[in-house]
Amino acid sequence: MVEIQNSKIVDSISEKVKESNLNLIPRQLANSVQAVIDVGRNIDQHFIESTKSTSSGSTTIVSTPTNKDFYLTSCSLGLIKDAASDNVAADLRATVNGTVEFLLQIVGITLTAQETHLTVSFPEPIKLDRGTAIKIQGTATAGNFHKTGTITGYTIDTLEK
């Protein structure tokens, strides 16, 4: 049987399992219990980014880093328009495996006042392509409309082999 002697490892285990009583952390490792430490990646930074726009076209919320993996954990899209707006749609899009994907879309009701907000959380984060923009898009030729987009996610600094 192996015993954990390093207090930093015990502290790390305590923090990850949310246990403050260090006496409850097992220090002896038998054949059925093994400590696993992932040294291949490190969560580098958490992101919460948002943007808004009152014009047609696309607006970038944030661009993913070129040197780190970016994982999307949730996103939201909002559309507010007046009855004079002929807005046809608003969407939030990101690039996954080389393809621009629509993550959320709101279809506007022509000549009708509308306020719609959508939010989705991903139980398994979605890895987005490096160096690509996460955008909201909306189109209208008349009236007033506002589109908003928010994303949350994190980057992982992957150790090179």
Torsion angle, CA of 136/138/143/147, rounded to 10 degrees? -20
pLDDT in tens, 7-39: 776 677 666 665 555 555 555 555 555 555 555
| pLDDT beneath 70: ranges in the chain | 1-6, 9-10, 13-42, 87, 158-161
Quote the radius of gyration of the chain (alpha carbons, Å). 22
* CA dihedral sign, ordered 80, 83, 86, 88: positive
Calpha distance 106→148 (Å, rounded):
11
The whole-model pTM stands at 0.71
Q: Give the amino acid at 3.
A: E
**Domains of the chain as residue ranges with CATH:** 1-37 (no CATH), 41-158 (2.60.120.1330)
Task: List, in sequence order, the alpha helices (H) in the chain.
Answer: 7-16
